[in-house]
Structure 1
């Protein structure tokens, strides 16, 4: 990926919304509203008790993908390469306990985005040959992911940015609007948000608070 392409990708990470049916009682409406109010990238993360599978999951993915295409926002699938390939998603995001990044890159080819969650410099270095961007966190305590790990603040973001100046980075984990300036200052290109938007009583207002930063 060229430096120009990396800069363009980094801009798309500015407000990265991650959501599935277990995070929102009306996922389609939530995503449609968030896209309208400033989300710059969307990840369909369908996991947990009561999550959709099979044809139902694919149908929901296609619906959300249509919304993203209409808004000119990248549509990323979490940890489901088969689904991403079958519907032509813009990319896949995997964690350290999901599919190996090297294998996912082989399946996706060079033209799709691959995001990898990392928690150490070693994991960041290992992801670098295959990943287009990395997700680092949890920055703050979060209840959205049971396997989120220990809170680590922005220390790793700072380290990764020093070692890999051009690597697109997104911070994740318990992020509220008031946290964003410091996270960006410390080296992230954007923030990934789940509950701060999905669980907000006013999704539009919550999204706009992030988008205006």
Structure 2
């Protein structure tokens, strides 16, 4: 699972406060029904017990659907529910420490905002990196300024590790992101706030496929 975690086109994240009043479990159920095969749980405002109960449900749902399940930041929670991966930021525990905690089988993803961080993640043994935020986003508190498409270009040209483009990506700009080298793209509110999640996912995928054809 570590090596093939990003072998998909869309990396969907949860955002209960931005889901049109729907429960996270309901939103993920619709994602999975629409063919999403990678879901990250990111719900920092909830209490630990509530997160654990929710993740137990989501872990079963994703496993039954043949999808990968990643927990954001919380190594203990990822271990407790048997997640396929944990995604950490620049202010979290170092990758080697996380590896000691999660063991050899769980994938470790690292958010990066520039070349030095990407190179460090590779050297530290990360399984994949997040590249962004490419555009302005309000879905995460204390987020850094957008890094722009130039960093994505650099990663596509210099980093062999799998990567996911993230940050302010919507259907109207996803084609540009794909043309700049992204094979896997993370979406948050474009999916969680969609009135029809399945239709939105299908439309985004169609846009991405067309852009890949243009990229050659």
TM-score, structure 1 length as denominator?
A: 0.89
Give the structure 2 partner of residue 39 of structure 1.
36
Match for residue 206 of structure 1 among 197, 200, 213: 200
Give the structure 1 partner of residue 5 of structure 2.
9
Give the structure 2 partner of residue 133 of structure 1.
128
In 2, the alpha carbon distance for the partners of 1:41 and 1:179 equals 21
Are 1:159 and 2:154 matched, yes or no?
yes
Instruction: Write the mapping of 1:1-213 to structure 2, written as runs, cut at 5 A.
Output: 6=3, 8-12=4-8, 14-24=9-19, 25=21, 26-47=23-44, 51-128=45-122, 129-164=124-159, 166-212=160-206, 213=208
In 2, the alpha carbon distance for the partners of 1:119 and 1:59 equals 32
Contact 1:19 1:45 in 2 (8 A): yes
Offset of residue 70 of structure 1: 1.5
Of stretches 81-90 and 17-26 in structure 1, the one that deviates more from structure 2 is: 17-26
In 2, the alpha carbon distance for the partners of 1:95 and 1:135 equals 9
Contact 1:157 1:169 in 2 (8 A): no
In 2, the alpha carbon distance for the partners of 1:153 and 1:121 equals 13
Contact 1:140 1:173 in 2 (8 A): yes
In 2, the alpha carbon distance for the partners of 1:173 and 1:195 equals 10
Contact 1:94 1:115 in 2 (8 A): yes
RMSD of aligned C-alpha atoms?
A: 1.8
Unaligned runs of 5+ in 2: 209-216
In 2, the alpha carbon distance for the partners of 1:92 and 1:207 equals 24
Unaligned runs of 5+ in 1: none
1:38 match: secondary structure: coil
TM-score, structure 2 length as denominator?
A: 0.87
2:176 match: secondary structure: helix
Once superposed, which parts of structure 1, at least 4 consecutive aligned residues long, lie more than 3 Å away?
A: none
Offset of residue 40 of structure 1: 2.4
